[in-house]
Structure 1
Amino acid sequence: MSSEPVETVEWQGRQVPVWSMRTIDYGLLLSQDPAEVEKVTKACLEDGYFQLDLDSIDGRRMLEDRESVLKLMDRFFSAPLEAKNEYGLIDSHLGYEPVGNRTGAFGPGSKDGYEMLKVSRDEIQQGAPRVPSPIKNSPDLHLLEQAIGSCNTVTKVILSALSTGMNLSGAERFENKHRNDRPSTTTLSMMHYLPAEITGQHKIGHQKHTDISSLTLLFSDQWGLQIRPPGECGAKEMGFVAPKKGCAFVHVGDSLRFASGMKFQSCIHRVVPFNPTEHRYSIAYFLRAEDDTMFMDSEGRYVTAKDWHDQKFKAFTDPWMYQALAPKSMILGGMTEAGADDPEGPVPAYAPAPVEVELKA
């Protein structure tokens, strides 16, 4: 199976799995190649995630846009807090979030260790985005527009292939619930994870969760992303995803799982400080269904895509004690898991020493 570990890596004094996964060829998906359509559909049915190979004539524009956004992020996140936080968090899917607004990677006692800028696709399309001045009054705004356009095209190609793979037609096809001219909370999120020596040992990583999105297109060259593969007897243990050159990591979010009648898996994941001394950057495009799209969630409730987004975002920002009282269907999208993520005890201190990636078969 694609989720069987073929190697491990040392992290926090123990060997942790590096989970393997299917790699999907974007160029073949663009051509609706039957074998590749079947492959991506199977990946979503069995795993809920895959690597998307963009290193071809059809995908290299996306890779170039990604490089431009990384340079933009370096400029933006180096600006003074007052400039970055000009608007603050305007809405749950757009604006700036400073470090420490959410629960961290290690539950009680930890806060997140990243700052984030979220840009609404709808506002970019309408030509009136609310973004801080360092971006709006520079060529960076055009770079964001190009990147969002590329991400939207890539995720729509995947969505169309999944509709075909699930034998959907007409209005039932997934892409007909993700039309470009209808309001949605689709957003491009740019995340900067700060070194532990800046944030302190209790502001680290990103908590375990499933995404609100239909599809998430994620880019990062640095280690830190962990996933929990689904399994027949509950989910397997958390393990790392190895960054792969020329590829994006794609995973299924709650909305697409709901839209598939719970046939697709939703990816349980988190981000941990693999190397606590580095600045880590990641770019995530969250393709989300039109606001008024109705589906049944994992508790049998009928909710709109917008309602689900707002409820789950509130759960993300709630203190951990309230999260613990909420049904798991909110943070984990109703996915089943079993087993502890980490050794019992307090959040460990992170010594400021570089980490070498040494894989063991």
Structure 2
Amino acid sequence: MAPADDPPQYYVQWQDKEVPVWSMRTVDYGLLLSQDPQEVDKVVKACLEEGYFYLDLDNIDGRRTLQDREDVLNLMQRFFEAPLEAKNEYGLIDSHLGYEPVGSRTGAFGAGTKDGYEMLKVSRDEIQQGSPRVPSPIKNGGDLQLLEKAIGSCNTVTKVILSALSTGMNLTGAERFENSHRNDRPSTTTLSMMHYLPAEVTGQHKIGHQKHTDISSLTLLFSDQWGLQIRPPGECGAREMGFVAPKKGCAFVHVGDSLRFASGMKFQSCIHRVVPFDPTEHRYSIAYFLRAEDDTMFVDSEGRYVTAKDWHDQKFKAFTDPWQWQAMAPKSMILGGMTEAGADDPEPVTAYAPEPVKAH
């Protein structure tokens, strides 16, 4: 069994060994909305020093987002139960839009493995324009209204965080982060719904989600289930991959490449992956990827001047490339230029191997 929420212990048992559960700051959304100076300082330090934090939404200002999250969870569970041909009605329309079946990317354990999840991505731009390309199992008016509400509330939450970061970094005018994330400008901002299947369904070669940093500026992530692992930044000793404990009433927020670039590499981009904590369960997570306007220009980790759209498309291609090609690509693409200290797994990790079915 997974340990209780917000566990007092520092380690949990996984793969027959002790694995750390990394601690992190908790930011109060209500205080951040009011631009409370101490809370602004807390979120800035979290982004400068770690690149991630819990966001406490269990208050009058955040409970709408928590309810929207529950509604989306019910919708996505129903959607993922639909036949594959219905879910894949449009296929992957664009890199930030459409359906990805299981095994589209590299898995959590590197060479020779594929991911163990299916994903539906809904474009914020298309929802805003009233013409979303959404597969028929969830295309009725009620479902579209629900998705619009959820995207709207997630957008508000992430913009509040951006505004606080701009204030805390003493940015003014056009330099403020939110001025490259305007609602009326095209972007690849998306709501992604992910379903990790039990290993007995996918087999031992389709497991989890590979180590990476996100393309986004900010990722607002919801999951009640264990499986997300992060690598804290730093070079003082072996900072191994460790779990993020689900925390009731909270979202997990982390910095992506675009905001790191926009900050002049001051913010940390969060290195993370997803592994099967309990390989027998269906795991669901919801991520809102707030991304900069398509034509936003910044200097990337290679020192190149690129637009946000160019970086998005190049990195998405790297995600979907075969692992052999990924191994030849610069690490700055998958990890956004972040440096690592310590091994992914101090001891070998074995993928879950389902019992072979005996012929009768």
TM-score range, shorter chain: over 0.9
The partner residue of 1:146 within 138, 144, 149 is 149
Distance 2:116 2:283 in 1: 10
- Does the CA contact (< 8 Å) of 1:6 and 1:19 recur in 2? no
CA offsets per residue over residues 197-217 of structure 1, 9 Å max, x none?
000011010000000000000
- Describe the shift of the 1:200–1:138 C-alpha distance in structure 2 as closer, same or farther (beyond 3 A): farther
Matched position secondary structure for 1:237:
coil
Give 1:1-361 correspondences, 5 Å limit: 7-233=10-236, 236-342=239-345, 347-350=350-353
- Describe the shift of the 1:350–1:20 C-alpha distance in structure 2 as closer, same or farther (beyond 3 A): farther
Distance 1:9 1:102 in 2: 28
**Structure 1 residue 234: deviation in Å?**
7.5
- Does the CA contact (< 8 Å) of 2:207 and 2:351 recur in 1? no
Distance 1:67 1:253 in 2: 25
User: Structure 1 residues 233-242 or 184-193, which shifts more?
Assistant: 233-242
Distance 1:130 1:73 in 2: 16
**Structure 1 residue 232: deviation in Å?**
3.3
- Does the CA contact (< 8 Å) of 2:240 and 2:345 recur in 1? no
**Structure 1 residue 267: deviation in Å?**
0.1
- Does the CA contact (< 8 Å) of 1:276 and 1:350 recur in 2? no
**Structure 1 residue 343: deviation in Å?**
5.2
- Does the CA contact (< 8 Å) of 1:229 and 1:235 recur in 2? no
Q: Percent identity?
A: 87
CA offsets per residue over residues 193-252 of structure 1, 9 Å max, x none?
000000001101000000000000000000000000001348711000000000000000
Distance 1:235 1:182 in 2: 42
Distance 2:338 2:101 in 1: 29
User: Structure 1 residues 85-94 or 137-146, which shifts more?
Assistant: 137-146
- What is the number of equivalent residue pairs in this alignment? 348
- Does the CA contact (< 8 Å) of 1:235 and 1:337 recur in 2? no
- Describe the shift of the 1:161–1:234 C-alpha distance in structure 2 as closer, same or farther (beyond 3 A): farther
- Describe the shift of the 1:271–1:346 C-alpha distance in structure 2 as closer, same or farther (beyond 3 A): closer
- Describe the shift of the 1:214–1:234 C-alpha distance in structure 2 as closer, same or farther (beyond 3 A): farther
Distance 2:74 2:292 in 1: 29
Distance 2:102 2:253 in 1: 25
CA offsets per residue over residues 283-322 of structure 1, 9 Å max, x none?
0000000000000011110000000000000000000010
Structure 1 residue identity aligned to 2:342: G
Distance 2:291 2:70 in 1: 24
**Structure 1 residue 347: deviation in Å?**
4.1
Distance 1:276 1:210 in 2: 24
User: Structure 1 residues 226-235 or 308-317, which shifts more?
Assistant: 226-235
- Does the CA contact (< 8 Å) of 1:94 and 1:187 recur in 2? yes
Matched position secondary structure for 1:349:
coil
Question: Normalised by the size of structure 1, how large is the TM-score?
Answer: 0.94
Structure 2 residue identity aligned to 1:247: C
- Does the CA contact (< 8 Å) of 2:48 and 2:266 recur in 1? yes
Which residue pairs with 1:356 in the alignment?
none
Unpaired segments ≥5 residues, structure 2: 1-7, 356-360
Structure 2 residue identity aligned to 1:314: K
Distance 2:164 2:53 in 1: 14
- Does the CA contact (< 8 Å) of 2:15 and 2:349 recur in 1? no
Matched position secondary structure for 1:223:
coil
Matched position secondary structure for 1:19:
coil
- Does the CA contact (< 8 Å) of 1:110 and 1:347 recur in 2? no
- Does the CA contact (< 8 Å) of 2:230 and 2:243 recur in 1? yes
